[in-house]
Amino acid sequence: MSRLVSPEGTALLIGGKLVPGGAGVFDTVDPATERVLGHAADADAADLDAAVAAARAAFDDTDWPRDPAFRARCLRQLRDALRGHLEELREITIAEAGAPRMLTGGPQLEAPIGDLGWFADLAESYCWDTDLGAARPMGVRSGRTLHREPIGVVGAITPWNFPHQINLAKLGPALAAGATVVLKPAPETPWCAAYIGAIIATETDIPAGVVDIVTSSDHGLGARLVEDPRVDMISFTGSTRTGRAVMASAAATVKKVFLELGGKSACIVLDDADIAAASRYAAFSVCVHAGQGCALTTRLLVPRAAHDEAVAAAAEAMAAVVPGDPNEAGTICGPLISERQRARVERYLDIARAEGGTVVTGGGRPAGRDRGYFVEPTLIAGLPNGSTVAQEEIFGPVLVVIPHDGDADAVRLANDSRYGLSGAVWGADPDRIRTVVRGLRIGTVGVNGGIWYSADAPFGGYKQSGIGRELGVAGFEEYLQTKLVATAE
């Protein structure tokens, strides 16, 4: 694998310079083989302090926040530079994140790189100033203008499951809006972020300090970033548990918080749908990237009369998915990210058995995989919607089948969750589908296999799945402030 930086350890990006980590380096591991790939720069508290200071100075002392045309040019420059290193980035993503090669042609790499162009276009076309016309409050004729301005310094904290998609879904709109960013990526996937930092530093005109990338093995640096009064906004993607802590810590400085958190999404199959086809689709989708996606539908709600048919179809589909080497073109279910994550999934399978559930297929480690953090795609039946595995996010290739007693009951079961991120509906009658969709308290819905992911489509959830939206105009506007100017006439 060719490298932009020394194989002895990637670098932090602070103030426009690639620098070593104050705490030395830490290992990054291939989850498919458990082999140490190499080392990443390990930032300490002083590095984070320097990164925040650089981002603050870049926002306060340069024209970056006031020049959307320049920002658009820099975003297109970054997109093109990343495309120039596409194959190198692809190999990093497969090796470090365990992402199946097939996904790197879409949401794991190529799609989010392309999305940068959409945000560049938006920076140029967005209506930054709006004339509200004249009014006479308290008898004073005043002309009013609404200004939209960048929010300031953004602390972006990201997870490991879709590192490029999530890193760039924060960088793209934030930079288009005119914010500056300190990115703290997950310690499991430091190279994915660090290599983008190296490209920014060496192949773009993005000014020093506008993007600062701090890789670290220390989860505590994320908490320091949240607490720092120089940071105006936190954009966090991760677990609901950590999101609650972020929200509480951010309250001390009353900074804005964007949260994209967990999910326990339901796939609702209506009784006029093709039961077998819908069940197979749901089973297949939960196997993609070993189920490590917050918006995957991990509860399959099927008509009670068709329960056995749905279980048989889903089991057949899941049994046909063999976990394998993510580097191979045909693999859709690679490894889990770490031994810790595999232990978490296996603990939930033990809980399902203890609560009386039936493991219809899967439930263990795949034969012939002595190395790597693999788990078999697993189908669970015989448990109610209130069971642990039907209520808690597992983040593995595990699907729970639950019977429903009609459309209204299906909506009730789907909404009976502290999460509200995503979902799916399968059926034949458009009016029934419309009624079901409107009853769901979730942020995105796929109907009959519809795909909602796109640069122009806002993504986010209800309830404990988060606050705010990512991508689309709504995601871009998360990084803006509103200023009203009234001028006496």
Q: List, by residue number, the catalytic residues.
A: 260
Q: What is the 3-state secondary structure (H, E, C) of the chain?
A: CCCCCCCCCCCEEECCEEECECCEEEEEEECCCCEEEEEEECCCHHHHHHHHHHHHHHHHHCCHHHCHHHHHHHHHHHHHHHHHCHHHHHHHHHHHHCCCHHHHHCCCCHHHHHHHHHHHHHHHHCCCEEEEEEECHHHCCEEEEEEEEECCEEEEECCCCCHHHHHHHHHHHHHHHCCEEEEECCCCCHHHHHHHHHHHHHHCCCCCCCEEECCCCCCHHHHHHHHCCCCCEEEEECCHHHHHHHHHHHHHHCCEEEEECCCCEEEEECCCCCHHHHHHHHHHHCCHHHHCCCCCEEEEEEEHHHHHHHHHHHHHHHHCCCCCCCCCCCCCCCCCCCHHHHHHHHHHHHHHHHCCCEEEECCCCCCCCCCCCCCCCEEEECCCCCCHHHHCCCCCCEEEEEEECCHHHHHHHHHCCCEECCEEEECCCHHHHHHHHHHCCCCCCEECCCCCCCCCCCECCEECCEECCECHHHHHHCCEEEEEEEEEC
Rg of the chain over Cα atoms, rounded to whole angstroms, equals 23
Sequence-ordered list of residues with C-beta below 8 angstroms from that of 50, at least 6 positions apart, any chain: 14, 15
Q: Phi/psi at 320 (nearest 5 deg)?
A: -80, -15
